[in-house]
Every structure is written in structure tokens, then in C-alpha cells.
Amino acid sequence: MKKIEIGDLLPTFRLQDQNNNTVNSIDYIGKPMVIYFYPKDDTPGCTKEACKFRDDFERFTDLGTVVIGISADSVESHKNFEQKYNLPFLLLADTNNEVRNLFGVPKNLFFIPGRVTYVIDKKGIVQYVFNSLLSAEKHIENALQKLKSFS
């Protein structure tokens, strides 16, 4: 399984969002993106991470950035997660882990799906990758810092 790394082009993928709309990655070329993979909806670390993205969402939109969260949870689970925590960004259902595998997101201890964040520039080039299962909030801080460096 090849890992997506800095300098790589964003892979093309299509998934359903929390509203059951098809999202195609190439539709967002031309805007900076933050794509973050997380283990599971409504778990402590993932909730903390999603709520930090929510709380800082205006900082991302001020930079013209699209924020996308991806996990193996269902569309229905994502909808419940979005509503429970008032999440203002896309949550994509990668129920077969096809996109997780396309990006090469590793599993961590005890086979828990990894927590990896990718910052992608307007041309669709990966500019930053951060992999940390335990430092959920650091994903947001690091992504914002990187976005500011090229916007």
C-alpha cells in the first residue's frame, strides 16, 4: 500500500457525504483542502478533533479552505455526528476503507484506524501530512499553520 506523501497529487475519489450527496475530490481542485481521516464518529478523541475543526472553522473558511473528514462510518452515523455536534464541514463515508487505503493511511495500535491529516494546495498537491492518533487537536493547529504559509 503506497502512502500519499508531500508533493503527491491528490488521488481522485468519490464518496457519499452525511447528506448522501456524492462528493468527488477533483471538484475541489482550485481551493485549498484539509482532508482528515479519523477512526470513528462519536468517540472521545474523534469528537474532540471534530469539535476543534468546528470551533476553528471560520479560520479555515477565511483562508478559502474546504475541510473534509473521512471515516468508515455510514452516512447515517455521519449525519448523527454532524447534528449532535453542529459540525459545519463535510463528513465522508468510506465504509469499505477504499479511500483510506488509496491514501495509505495506516492502522495504529490494536488495529485502530489511523488519524492522519493532509493539507492540499489549490493545484491539488499535498503540502503537509500529519499522523498522530493521540494528538487530535494538534491536527487542526498544524493544518492552519501550514495553510497560512502558502495562502
Strand partners, 15: 23
- Out of 4, 15, 33, 46, which one is annotated catalytic? 46
Phi/psi at 119 (nearest 5 deg)? -110, 125
46 is a catalytic site residue? yes
The span from the CA of 146 to the CA of 125, in Å, is 13
DSSP notation for 73-119: --HHHHHHHHHHHT--SEEEE-TT-HHHHHHTPPB-GGGPBP-EEEE
Query: Using an 8 Å Cβ cutoff, are 116 and 69 in contact?
Result: no
Query: Using an 8 Å Cβ cutoff, are 119 and 104 in contact?
Result: no
CA dihedral 31, 95, 21, 83 (to 10 degrees): -90
Point out the residues that are catalytic: 46
